[in-house]
Amino acid sequence: MKRVIFVAPAILFAACGQVVPEVAVATTSPPPATSTPTVTSAPTHTPEPRPTDTPRPTDTPQPTPTAVPTWEPVALGDIETALKEAGYRRFPFTNEDGVSGFSWNNSNPYERVTTWDDGTIKMEVLHNDAPVDRAERMERHLAVLETVLPAGFMTELRREHTAYNTSAPTSVTGEPDWISASGDESQTVWAEYNGSEFGKGGYDVRFSLWWWQSTCPPQYDSCYYSDFPGLDFSGDSSFVFHTILIWLPDEGAGS
C-alpha cells in the first residue's frame, strides 16, 4: 500500500516581545514542507475494492468489453521540472521513514504542491471560498501537471474533481475518515474528511478535505506561523485544505 506523508509548517510563540525557538506544529501526522519542517507521516492509501464479477447465464449474449485505458507512466522528475519552469520554488524535506521530497510554493504560501520520491503528488488550496473560486485556484496547479501527464488522465482528473468540488460540504463536521492529535505544545490536530478515490490507467487519485488546528499555549501573548506571513493568533487557529493526491504508476516513482 502507498503512504500519504504530511509535513507541517513551523509555529512560533511570542511572549512579552520575545520569540522562543521554533516548535513544530505536527509531530505524528500529515504535509506542507518548508525550509524548517518537522516531517511526519499520515494514513496509508488503500485503493477502493473492486466489485466481484457476477456470472451471467450462458444464454445471455455477452457485451463487448470496454477497453480500460492504460496511460504511459511519467517520471516524477519531469513533473518537478515543470513546476520549476512554472515559477514554483521548492523546499526539501525527508520524513521519519526516510522518504524525501519537496514542497513547492508559487504565489500563495497556503496553497502548495508537494512531491515525494515514491511517486506521490499533493495539490492543495484553501477550502474557504465558493466552489468556482476553489476550481480556479486548483486549476493553476493542474495546468502545470497538464504539460507532463497524459491528456486522457488529465481529462478524467478534471471531470472527477469538478464532481467532487461541487458536492463537497462548505465545512468539515462529524466523524473524520482519519484523525491524529499529536499532543505537542501547540496541541496539533490533523483530520481528513470526505475522502473519495478513483483509479484509471495506472494512476490513483484521492480527493479529501484536511482540517488542521493549532492552539497557542496560554503562557504566550501570541503565536504566528513562520511559513504563513502576516498571520498571528492566540487561542485556536485552524485551516481546511481542499486536497488532490495523485499516485503515479510504479514505473514513474523515482524515475
Tell me: the pLDDT tens digits for 116-150? 999 999 999 999 889 999 999 999 999 999 999 99
- 126 forms beta bridges with 241
Check if the beta carbon of residue 206 is closer than 8 Å to that of residue 177. no
pTM of the prediction?
0.74
Render pLDDT for 151-173 as a digit per residue (tens, 0 to 9).
999 999 999 999 999 999 999 99
Domain annotation covers residue 39: yes
197 CB neighbour count, 10 Å cutoff: 16
135 CB neighbour count, 10 Å cutoff: 18
Domain annotation covers residue 94: yes
The per-residue pLDDT for 227 is 82
DSSP 11: E
Domain annotation covers residue 53: no
Arithmetic mean of pLDDT, 29-53: 31
Please provide the DSSP assignment of 130-179 as one string: -HHHHHHHHHHHHHHHHTTS-HHHHHHHHHHHHHHHHHS-SS--SS-SEE
Domain annotation covers residue 178: yes
Domain annotation covers residue 54: no
Which amino acid, 239? F
Is residue 18 predicted with pLDDT exceeding 90? no
The per-residue pLDDT for 13 is 53
d(CA 114, CA 121): 6
Q: How many domains does the chain have?
A: 1
Domain limits at 131?
A: 2-45+70-252
d(CA 126, CA 120): 20
Domain annotation covers residue 61: no
The per-residue pLDDT for 215 is 94
Domain annotation covers residue 59: no
State percent of the chain over pLDDT 90: 60
d(CA 111, CA 251): 28
Nearest 10 degrees: Cα torsion 105, 106, 109, 111:
-90
Domain annotation covers residue 76: yes
Render pLDDT for 207-241 as a digit per residue (tens, 0 to 9).
999 999 999 999 999 999 888 878 899 999 999 99
